[in-house]
Amino acid sequence: MSSNMTRRHFVGSSVKAVAAAATANCFCVVESYTQSGRNKYARMFKQFDEFVLGYMREMNSPGLTFVMADREGVQRVATYGFSDAEKKVDVKPQELFEIGSISKSFIAICLLQLSQEGKLDLHRPVVEYLPWLRIDSDFAPITIHHMLTHSSGLPENAPVFLTDPSAKHRAAYGPGQYFHYSNLAYTVLGHLLWTLDGRILPEIIRKRVFNPLGMTQSEPVISLEIREKMSKNYCAFRNDAPESRYQGLSEGPGIVMNDAGGCIAATPRDMGLYIQALANRGNGPNNRLLSEESFAVFSRAHIKAKMFGPTASYGYGVVVDELDGHNVLRHTGGMLSFASALHVDVDEGVGAFASINAMQGYRPLPITQCAIQLMRALNANKSVLSAPAVSRPAIVANAAECAGAYKSENGRPLEIVADGHELFLLHKGIRVSLDSASGDTFTVLHRDFSRFVLVFGRANAEDPNSSVVEAGWGGDWFTNSKYAGPKTFEYPKEWESYVGHYRNENAWIGSIRIVLRKGQLIVNGVDALRAGEARTFYYQDAHSPEWLQFSDIVNGEAMRLNFSGQDLWRVRVA
């Protein structure tokens, strides 16, 4: 194996446009090859690089690190853009990027190894191994399998150790029935590893996965001690507002993250070695990480996981899906100031990893998908396929449907204008751009509308082709001339005491805003709640285990909001 590094300055016209948009200087790609001789994928590099740079321009990405690998090894490492966006310092291949929830697959592999060693029964109740774990359930016991597949019925981000010593985590439904992503479950699995293996989590990950694969540059947990090894990274300048790819950014804080749900910081080269092992179905360069039987369990579609796409299922710490008729394993990772994606085609034996040193509400999944599709084409001796077009948030296919004049209950106007496939809100004599967030939900690119997204509603909520008849922004509700529903709504007067801004300065929690619209309490202007018992509310999705509880009413206002075990306190400012 040989390694060489080159820096290529692009001169093509399309890339010049990228460079002009991103920086006054030329935008560079730093390459590192790890295979000796001519690289068999070299024909795709120019086209792929142009796609990546175009993607970064449209997504407002400061920098990106990337690796492609196959069953034979790491084929290419490349970095794009800036580690330090202010000083225009390039991303370096040896810099660490936080991989977020892609860490979950490492945890699953360690647990499967314990199962192979006869130390763990994956279908045994977790409380039999961890009797201190406080779980209350009216259903069958939660097993390790249920936690690995996000089918435990537990909330997403609740702490393992609740502040109230008498409180317990409560399962919302019978385990194995539904998929609900749960970082809590994987944090518990980290404690299980510690209990059964006898070593602390970083030692377990290093000894069981890193060392066998030769991942010598990566760190098994994130700490302040490794910050100098990391790429400079960026988060939202304001973390109390909807995420937007064009929002202002500030340098991300140093964090300590040793929860098993997202604790690894890695270099692209090391992630290439991990991809090689997955492409070889658990077989590392020197020995097997997992037996064939264990890898089959790891990569099996155990439960449908529609949050990852209409065809997606979940295995053990990894999404199981298909792409162009091929079986693929994939996952994304989101941290405070990093966004990552992993794709491995287990049929073709190729894969890719990408990570961006900023969090703006998206993951670079199109980059890793494009990479494996181009690699497959070259392996089949086909012409290199065209890279997919990069979506622009300002382009709205159904823009004309949302355009028109709306009025609030008190007569305040809201005017939306369509210009081709772009939407604008008329505000104080100017046209304000609307960026598509998802479906009929839009980010309004003006500071007066920064707290909430603008949500359009249709005459029939179940029919996406029915007429747009209403719009909501926070607690404000607007209708147009096509609206034929009720105009007044009844609700308990005490709900008004719950409306407000609640916050926890833990960067992982931040802000929750509660509004009243159309007689419903709504979280962050988007998700309507249904009332439960004793000031407790649940999401409309009957299968969601998340809950909110209001308490400490002072002068007609709730001072505390507990969100699935996390306390937030009212913010009282003008």
pLDDT tens, 419-475? Answer: 998 999 999 999 999 988 888 999 998 989 999 999 999 999 999 999 999 999 999
pLDDT digits (tens, 9 = 90+) for 183-194: 999 999 999 999
Quickly state the pLDDT bin for 242 (edges 50, 70, 90).
confident
DSSP state of 358: B
Q: How far apart are CA 207 and CA 192, in angstroms?
A: 16
Quickly state the pLDDT bin for 32 (edges 50, 70, 90).
low
Q: Are 435 and 425 in contact (CB under 8 A)?
A: no
Q: Among candidates 287, 157, 278, 274, which has minimal Cα distance to 205?
A: 274
Q: Among candidates 189, 187, 207, which has minimal Cα distance to 199?
A: 207
- Which of 1-10, 15-24, 361-370 has maximum average pLDDT? 361-370
Residue 248 is predicted with a pLDDT of 85
pLDDT digits (tens, 9 = 90+) for 366-387: 999 999 999 999 999 887 666 6
Q: Are 391 and 382 in contact (CB under 8 A)?
A: no
Helices 183-197, 103-116: crossing angle, 10 deg rounding = 40
pLDDT digits (tens, 9 = 90+) for 121-132: 999 999 999 999
Other Cβ atoms closer than 10 A to 7: 9
Quickly state the pLDDT bin for 21 (edges 50, 70, 90).
very low
Residue 211 is predicted with a pLDDT of 97
Residue 29 is predicted with a pLDDT of 78
Mean pLDDT of the chain: 91
Instruction: Give mean pLDDT, residues 322-326.
Output: 95
Residue 10 is predicted with a pLDDT of 31
Helices 365-379, 45-59: crossing angle, 10 deg rounding = 170
DSSP state of 181: -
Instruction: Give mean pLDDT, residues 297-324.
Output: 97
Quickly state the pLDDT bin for 343 (edges 50, 70, 90).
very high
Tokens of 140: 């069958």
Instruction: Give mean pLDDT, residues 54-58.
Output: 92
Which domains are delineated in the chain?
A: 4-105+203-379 (3.40.710.10), 399-479 (2.40.128), 493-571 (2.40.128.50)
Instruction: Give mean pLDDT, residues 341-368.
Output: 96
Instruction: Give mean pLDDT, residues 401-428.
Output: 94
* Distances in whole angstroms, Cα of residue 35 to Cα of each of 32, 106, 155, 267, 374: 9, 25, 44, 17, 18
